[in-house]
C-alpha cells in the first residue's frame, strides 16, 4: 500500500471517529507522542470538561489529513516547512502560530552493534548495509537527513542503502530490532529507546530542528488556542523538557 492510500485511509478513519462536543483533537508529529500524552493529561486535569484526543503521524501525513477534511483543532509539526504549507493553504490560524520546542537529529545504532560509526562518512563502509531514514517527502526527519547528506556530498552514494520509513518512530524501530545497521532519528526518540539503541553522533544541520504549533483555521473546539497557550506555558514546557526537547525561546524560524 503506498503512502497516498495510507494517508487517505487514515484521514477517513480520523474523520469518521466519533467526537463529542467537548472533544479537542490534536494532530501531532510522531516524535511528540509521549510528551503530548502527558501534556494532554495535564490539560484535561486543568480543564475537566474537555477530553483531548491525540492523533500522531508523520507531519506530512497530518497535513494531508487536515487538507482532506479531518476534524482537527490543533496541529503540531516537527518542522516549519509543513506548517508553512498548512498556512499557505489557509488551514491554520497564522496569527496564533508559534515555534514551541527544538530537537536534534542523531544517528543511532543497535545497542549490541560493534560497528564504529562516528561520522556521516562512516556510513559508506561496506559493513553498513541498511540505513533507516524517514521518507523526505512526508517526514521532516527524513528531509533534515537528506539535506545533511546532500551537503556532505553523500546522498547519492548512500541512496542504495537507505530504507525509507513512514515516520521517525518506524526508523527507530528498525534500528531497535537490528533490521538496519544505523538510522536517523531525533535525540528525544533515541532517549526513549536507550535500552535498545546507542546514539552514535549528532548530525550537523544548517537549520535547527524546530517544531511549530497552531490552532487550525476552523477549529470545532473553542479551546484550541487555550491548548496552544498551555503547551507554551511553563508547565507545558517543563513536560517537553522532561522528554528531552529544548526550549525554543529566542529562536526565530527563517
Per-residue pLDDT tens for 205-221?
Answer: 988 999 999 999 999 99
253 within 8 A of 83, measured Cβ to Cβ = no
- Fold category of 105-202 in CATH: D-Maltodextrin-Binding Protein; domain 2 (3.40.190)
User: Locate cell 483543532: which residue?
Assistant: 73
Per-residue pLDDT band at 46 (split at 50, 70, 90): very high
11 within 8 A of 63, measured Cβ to Cβ = no
Q: Which CATH architecture does the domain made up of 24-101+210-247 adopt?
A: 3-Layer(aba) Sandwich (3.40)
Per-residue model confidence as pLDDT tens digits over 115-171: 999 999 999 999 999 999 999 999 999 999 999 999 999 999 999 999 999 999 999
The mean pLDDT of the chain is 92
pLDDT, residue 9, reads: 46
Average pLDDT of the residues in 225-232: 98
Which amino acids are annotated as binding site for molybdate, given as ranges? 31, 59, 141, 168, 186
DSSP per position, 29-92: EGGGHHHHHHHHHHHHHHSTT-EEEEEEE-HHHHHHHHHTT---SEEEESSHHHHHHHHHTT-B
Which amino acids are annotated as binding site, given as ranges? 31, 59, 141, 168, 186
Q: Do domains 24-101+210-247 and 105-202 have the same CATH topology?
A: yes
Where do the structural domains in the chain lie, given as residue ranges?
24-101+210-247, 105-202
Cell of 167: 515516520
Looking only at the bridges linking them, the beta strands covering 162-165 and 98-103 are unpaired
**When comparing pLDDT for 21 and 88, which is higher?**
88
Amino acid at each position: 500500500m503506498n503512502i497516498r492510500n495510507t494517508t487517505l485511509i487514515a484521514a477517513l478513519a480520523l474523520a469518521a471517529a466519533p467526537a463529542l462536543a467537548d472533544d479537542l483533537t490534536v494532530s501531532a508529529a510522531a516524535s511528540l507522542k509521549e510528551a503530548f500524552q502527558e501534556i494532554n493529561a495535564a490539560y484535561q486535569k486543568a480543564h475537566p470538561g474537555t477530553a483531548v484526543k491525540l492523533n500522531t503521524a508523520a507531519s506530512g501525513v497530518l497535513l494531508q489529513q487536515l487538507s482532506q477534511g479531518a476534524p482537527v483543532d490543533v496541529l503540531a509539526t516537527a518542522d516549519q516547512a509543513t506548517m508553512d504549507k498548512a498556512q499557505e493553504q489557509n488551514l491554520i490560524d497564522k496569527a496564533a502560530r508559534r515555534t514551541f520546542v527544538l530537537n536534534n537529529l542523531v544517528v543511532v545504532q543497535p545497542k549490541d552493534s560493534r560497528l564504529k560509526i562516528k561520522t556521516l562518512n562512516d556510513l559508506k563502509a561496506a559493513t553498513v548495509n541498511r540505513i533507516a531514514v524517514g521518507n523526505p517527502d512526508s517526514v521532516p526527519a527524513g528531509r533534515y537527513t537528506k539535506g545533511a547528506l546532500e551537503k556532505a556530498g553523500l546522498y547519492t552514494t548512500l541512496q542504495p542503502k537507505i530504507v525509507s520509513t513512514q515516520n521517525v518512530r518506524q526508523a527507530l524501530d528498525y534500528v531497535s530490532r537490528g533490521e538496519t545497521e544505523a538510522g536517523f532519528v531525533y535525540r528525544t526518540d533515541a532517549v526513549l529507546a536507550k535500552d535498545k539503541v546507542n546514539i552514535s553522533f549528532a548530525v550537523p544541520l544548517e537549520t535547527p530542528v524546530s517544531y511549530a504549533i497552531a490552532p487550525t483555521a476552523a477549529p470545532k473546539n473553542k479551546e484550541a488556542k487555550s491548548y496552544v497557550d498551555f503547551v507554551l506555558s511553563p508547565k507545558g514546557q517543563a513536560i517537553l523538557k522532561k522528554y528531552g526537547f529544548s526550549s525554543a525561546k529566542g529562536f526565530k524560524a527563517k
